[in-house]
């Protein structure tokens, strides 16, 4: 599903008057999640999951083409851990 399709689904399920309003709401949610993660906090949505950041230490890797060792720098990456209700909903296919 692409963003435009998600906006359409949000418009239908959320009862928004227009897709423009639904897109504005989706962008607000995405921007808020981004801001919270940048500040180092986490967001827990009970039943859905948790957004947080994880620090990855620097490590030695290898270029798959040349087999040459390469230092991979330390970085902070976003992580999402699904909640139990979401896991159960996905597994009820």
- And the tokens for 52? 């947080």
Please give the pLDDT value at position 83. Answer: 94
Q: How confident is the model at residue 17 (pLDDT cuts 50, 70, 90)?
A: confident
Give pLDDT, residue 14: 87
Residue 58 pLDDT more than 80? Answer: yes
Percent of the chain topping pLDDT 90: 89
**Does 93 score more than 70 pLDDT?**
no
**% the chain with pLDDT above 70:** 99
pLDDT(25) > 80: yes
pLDDT tops 90 at residue 54: yes
What does the mean pLDDT of the chain come to?
93
Q: Measure the CA–CA gap between 49 and 83, rounded to whole angstroms.
A: 4
Say how many CA atoms lie within 13 Å of 77 toward its Cβ: 8
CB 7 within 8 A of CB 19: yes
pLDDT per position as a tens digit, 2-13: 999 999 999 999
């Amino acid at each position: 599903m692409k963003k435009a399709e998600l906006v359409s689904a949000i418009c239908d399920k959320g009862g928004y008057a227009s897709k423009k309003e639904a897109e504005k709401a989706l962008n607000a949610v995405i921007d808020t999640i981004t801001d919270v993660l940048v500040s180092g906090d986490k967001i827990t949505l009970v039943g859905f999951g948790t957004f947080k950041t994880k620090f990855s230490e620097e490590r030695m890797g290898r270029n798959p083409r040349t087999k040459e060792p390469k230092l991979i720098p330390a970085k902070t990456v976003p992580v999402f851990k699904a909640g139990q209700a979401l896991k159960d909903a996905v597994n009820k296919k």
